[in-house]
A = this chain, B = another copy of it.
Amino acid sequence: MGNCLVAQSGGPTAVINATVAGVVQANHLNPIYDHVYGGLHGIEGILAEKLIDLTGLTDYQLQILKQTPASALGSCRYKLKRENTADFEKLFEIFDKYGIDTLFYTGGNDSMDTVAALSEYATEHGIKGHRFVGCPKTVDNDLMITDHCPGYGSAAKMLAAVVQQTWLDYNVYTRQEVFILETMGRDAGWLAASTELSGLVDLLILPETAFDADKFVARVKEIVTAKNKCYIVVSEGARYADGSYLSAGKAKNDGFAHAVLGGAGQALKNLIVESGAAQRAKVQDMSTLQRCAVISQSKTDVEESFKLGMSAHMRSMDPTFTGMMVAVKRPEGDTPYDPQFFAVEASKVANFVKHVPDEWILPDYAGVSQQCLDYMRPLIQGEPELVCNAGLPVYIHPFYL
């Protein structure tokens, strides 16, 4: 019998570790692998042979892993380039050395490209007996084909609850107030859109719609005139018609040639104050917290992430199951929400971005359609029972430290 390896890549989420827990749990139930190894810091750490043994994690440890945010195995932004054959050779050497039949790789579309590339390489070089399986995760919810991504539901629940709470706070004084909440999401507006689940947002600025400063300022003026308050949500990726980000002054690049965003809220504040639409505005940038907030995990999200890991493990019994991503499907019709899992070629997911559909976006920054709300609502349902100690959530100490 062979072994398997699970590793994590890209930005963390509040439920990414639940997928790892699912793989380990499935192997408890049906030990098709002798060892479940964890690769530290994704492909980067695997290349450096940084592997640990997760096989013997107890049920209690798996439960705590499910409520541990961020990547317990560590993450990387290392891009496996097809032309860099030395990396591939090294990886297959390590797979052989550790008897690894299957690699489960959690991540976003770059990670799915890694899954596709490894699978293609094996085929092209006639290397048999390996399966490369992608497990989607991203708070941005921007992967194609899968109905949604594990990690999104918890971030969406966090953001919608934050809107409730800060809306209640910003209303308490009689004075004029403009509140601006900035969310992550890169070029997809899903995270910003999730705040509409609160029913309290006045203006929603998504990356999908070219930003028109005059129209925006006019709307702020109207709303402030009407009720002396205005609650605005903006996605970090919001941009003008020419493609430049609202936060343009601060843009830098990370290792993947992605723009490092942030500052859209401050840009809106400047617009508002300089135009005289309001005298002042407060910005709350949710920053890192929105993608690791275990205090508002969605139970639906955690359980999906866990089941997805189990499903990936179980499907990998099929020796031809490679280059695939396990995706989530939503039941059709009016049946209660009960997600199913299916397999899709990772290459069909890699390097694309799923946007909020135009037809779900209301004009004049008025938010999203009922259809969009109906899409998001099931994903934030339920509150897992959090194991706490001395007043704080218990977590698994990172395996890489």
Partner-B contacts on A (CB < 8 A) = 8, 12, 41, 44-45, 68-72, 74-77, 157-158, 160-162, 164-166, 168-174, 179, 197-198, 282-285, 287-289, 291-296, 298, 377, 380-383, 386, 388, 390-393, 395, 398, 400-401
Contact = CB atoms under 8 A, between A and B. Distances in A.
Contact of A395 (B8, B71, B164): B164
B288 A157 contact: no
| Residue among A41, A298, A383 with max Cβ neighbours from chain B (10 Å) | A383
A391 B197 contact: yes
Say whether chain A's binding surface is mostly helix, strand, loop, or mixed.
mixed
A75 to B, nearest CB: 4
Contacts of A298: 391
B292 A282 contact: no
A380 B392 contact: yes
A86 B395 CA distance: 58
A79 to B, nearest CB: 14
10 contacts: A45-B174, A70-B165, A70-B169, A70-B171, A75-B172, A160-B391, A198-B392, A284-B288, A285-B287, A377-B391
A391 B382 contact: yes
A289 B285 CA distance: 10
Contacts of A161: 294-295, 392-393
Nearest to A156: B391
Contacts of A166: 288-289, 292
A118 to B, nearest CB: 21
Nearest to A163: B392
Contacts of A158: 295
Nearest to A173: B75
Contact of A293 (B75, B165, B174, B393): B165
Given A284-B289, A386-B383, A172 B392 contact: no
A395 B164 CA distance: 9
A392 B160 contact: yes
Nearest to A170: B288
